[in-house]
Structure 1
């Protein structure tokens, strides 16, 4: 997907989460988003509801909210400002787990790459710190040791 349609999809997804957050809801006890569901496993809308709607679209995120998902799992790039998907999802009562974090340059944004070798490790710590600082609730990573160390470094 080219940059312009992807940016448009992210903006539409943000609008959908905002709309879902402000839509009238059935009265439920405070803090209980899903009174119809007993406690149990969490439901995570991967890329919104990519099985039913085009991934990373307003329709997919809106569908996940309406379906009662507890979390959404967007691509980490859709959480970078000026996108407001993270804040909008939190306002809708959803947790956000961003994916996929890797340490190699080829998977990092240009600002976090070190050198020109696409397989060499870049500054993954800085990328984790950025997303943790933005308030992401979870990360999906191929390098959990680096993610944990970055989280511990942030806690001080």
Structure 2
């Protein structure tokens, strides 16, 4: 009861005087409706669209034969059945990705035809056992297939549905495998006629140089991603916290249109702004926060309900707090909850 009262107080205080600036917050379906279907599958993207998400977010990695496909990481064992495929046992290896040693199977070591034989699996079966019921049903989609899905759903619904792709580890792929994922994405955007400023698309990256290249090559909106205690893999002397100061944000605004930041960088424990939101907007940048999920394991203490990490907490209240704090958009695994909360 005390938690509920405190939560209502926080929401009420934050809404005072900020309702006008909070209107129209975007709901970005993080890897699709990944709270209900295995992430980065056409089924997850379509479910998110049907639930009213404004944008769907595919993370993009690259195959050996240079096709952009959707996976959260280029390492495949967390989200596919590759570890159980005897024919690919000899593909297992270790790679140092952005300074972290990773062992497994990597997308850039497989052709698209080979990846087509794999099937998606739930990444968090302990927290989302219901999603695991769909293991083995869905293939890994290409970026071109995701674009076709969005256009088909736009024709079906009459709604504008945005794309929010992220290039995963572009500097690593260029140095390790000679794969220029920036060039591949630019080509794909041009072929899909999605390279203009008026197109409903954001392109995001944790790295600086790829965003600067994209800024020179296409006119789409670009987003610098940021997380606590880390920095861009291609700029080892930088830390995101320093880049989110007023002077740092002024520099980011020279090549990006928005920041996509871990919510902990944007909101204090009581739900109030840390000042980054205001500083970013003063620099002319939009602010999108990630990632809002319904499970207690991912929610701040004040928004948790019931027992256990897998139990659903009060995600709707957190969505409203984010809106009231002035965020322009939120990434969420559960777009239905976010859309419903904002509609009310």
State how many pairs are aligned.
118
Q: Take 1:145 and 1:50, find their aligned partners in 2: how far apart are those partners?
A: 32
Check if 1:43 corresponds to 2:222: yes
- In the TM superposition, what are the counterparts of 1:51-62 in structure 2 within 5 Å? 51=233, 52-53=235-236, 54=238, 56-59=240-243, 62=248
Residues 50, 60 of structure 1: 8 Å contact kept: no
Structure number with greater Rg is 2
Alignment deviations for residues 55-107 of structure 1 (CA, whole Å, 9 cap, x no partner) = 53214662761542100011112111351000110111000110011000010
What secondary structure, in the 3-state scheme, does the structure 1 residue paired with 2:240 have? coil
Deviation at 1:117, TM superposition (A): 1.1
Deviation at 1:116, TM superposition (A): 2.1
Residues 293, 299 of structure 2: 8 Å contact kept: yes
Residues 253, 283 of structure 2: 8 Å contact kept: no
- In the TM superposition, what are the counterparts of 1:1-156 in structure 2 within 5 Å? 40-47=219-226, 50-51=232-233, 52-53=235-236, 54=238, 56-59=240-243, 62=248, 65=252, 67-80=254-267, 81=272, 83-153=274-344
> If the length of structure 2 is used for normalisation, what is the TM-score?
0.31
Alignment deviations for residues 116-144 of structure 1 (CA, whole Å, 9 cap, x no partner) = 21101000000000000111001111111
What secondary structure, in the 3-state scheme, does the structure 2 residue paired with 1:96 have? strand
Residues 105, 120 of structure 1: 8 Å contact kept: yes
Deviating above 6 A after TM superposition, structure 1's stretches of 4 or more consecutive aligned residues are 36-39
Tell me what 1:23 maps to: none
**Structure 1: where are the runs of 5+ without partners?**
1-35
Q: Take 1:82 and 1:40, find their aligned partners in 2: how far apart are those partners?
A: 31
Residues 103, 121 of structure 1: 8 Å contact kept: yes
What secondary structure, in the 3-state scheme, does the structure 1 residue paired with 2:290 have? strand
Which structure has the highest strand share of the two?
2
> If the length of structure 1 is used for normalisation, what is the TM-score?
0.66
**Structure 2: where are the runs of 5+ without partners?**
1-214
Residues 44, 73 of structure 1: 8 Å contact kept: yes
Residues 244, 280 of structure 2: 8 Å contact kept: no
